[in-house]
Amino acid sequence: MNIHVLSLFPEMFTGVFGSSILKKAQEKETVGLSVTDFREYAVNKHAQVDDYPYGGGAGMVLKPEPLFNAVEALSKDGKKPRVILMCPQGERFTQKKAEELAKEEDLLFLCGHYEGYDERIREHLVTDELSIGDFVLTGGELAAMTIIDSVVRLLPGVLGNDDSPILDSFSTGMLEHPHYTRPADFRGMKVPDVLLSGNHAKIEQWRMEQSLKRTFERRPDLLVDIELSKEQKTYLEKLKNGKA
């Protein structure tokens, strides 16, 4: 996979792209990450990327020319990548969307600043508008980093254990079960006996119940759209009735 980012502040990505899982993914050549300052594609001698909005109003608006020129320059063999606009008005980003994007060969993220984008960028250049939540950031860079991290970790071989992303919270439709490690007794706080039993069937049963319980308590909205097994439905009823 190749991921390109267009930003006026490419230095913001240096630490994130050069650390941890994203660094390892590049070393394995599973993903290529690049950041371009789209000011390089401005059309006047002052390298201007923004201008006053027609009709008046506060703030400055990103001009269409630099972003159109940059996307066209980065498109391989004339094939435009999936172009993602980071915007608080966009579709709410989810794990399902991350899984969808992880199947692409080329992604290109547009990170804006100032008051907003010229509407022609939305209408004729981008394929997706994404938001990471109902709040406003100074620019799209931090949001793009978040999405890129969540997508890259889903690529085969990146995490070392390909089962890890399958069992993550939201990937199954529910929140993940609790985890414990050594020591078994820390300051009187003990690991549940079932996890020390060696009985894998009971351990999986416990994990299923804990995952369902945590989701019911913290994010009951997630249970509306997922299909539960008969066993899960029975346990959910116990939770609702306070008998679990």
Positions at the binding site? 112, 132-137
β-partners of residue 110 are: 6, 85
d(CA 94, CA 147): 9
Residue that the structure tokens 């006026």 belong to: 8
Task: In whole angstroms, give the CA distance from residue 109 to residue 143.
Answer: 10
- Tokens representing 65 are 């020319």
Residues annotated as binding site for S-adenosyl-L-methionine?
Answer: 112, 132-137
Helix (H) or strand (E) holding 25: helix 20-27
Q: How many CB atoms lie within 10 A of CB 117?
A: 24
**Annotated active-site positions, please?**
88, 115, 153, 168
196's tokens = 């020390």
Separation between Cα atoms, residue 63 and residue 48, nearest integer Å: 8
Q: Please give the Cα distance from 63 to 55 (Å, whole number).
A: 15
